[in-house]
């Protein structure tokens, strides 16, 4: 059961598009700013966005009949 199960396919596609744009912005945007002799630098952390994109893509694959990925248990 995914956290995006309650969304429609159109909403999932819009969410994935928004997350991909956010990821691209974060990867290409400047990671520092300066004003009046002060500067700040921040780290580009994209792991959370990539996890969200993977979760949305997995839900879309599940709805389109794609195989679900999970652990293989050998008994």
Q: Which pLDDT tens digit goes with each residue over 21-31?
A: 999 988 888 77
Q: Which residue has the tokens 């009046």?
A: 36
How far, in Å, are 6, 31, 37, 39, 53 from residue 60 at the CA level? 12, 32, 48, 42, 11
User: Is the Cα dihedral 51, 53, 56, 62 positive or negative?
Assistant: negative
pLDDT confidence of residue 51? 92
- Positions in the chain short of pLDDT 70: 1, 67-70
Name the residue with tokens 């199960």.
Answer: 5
Nearest to 25, CA basis, from 46, 51, 11: 46
Per-residue pLDDT, 69: 64
């Amino acid at each position: 059961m995914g956290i995006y199960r309650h969304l429609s396919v159109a909403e999932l596609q819009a969410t994935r598009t928004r997350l991909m744009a956010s990821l691209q912005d974060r990867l290409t945007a400047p990671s520092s700013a300066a004003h009046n002799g002060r500067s700040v630098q921040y780290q580009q952390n994209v792991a959370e966005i990539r996890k969200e994109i993977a979760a949305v893509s997995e839900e879309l694959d599940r709805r389109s009949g794609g195989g679900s990925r999970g652990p293989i248990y050998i008994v």
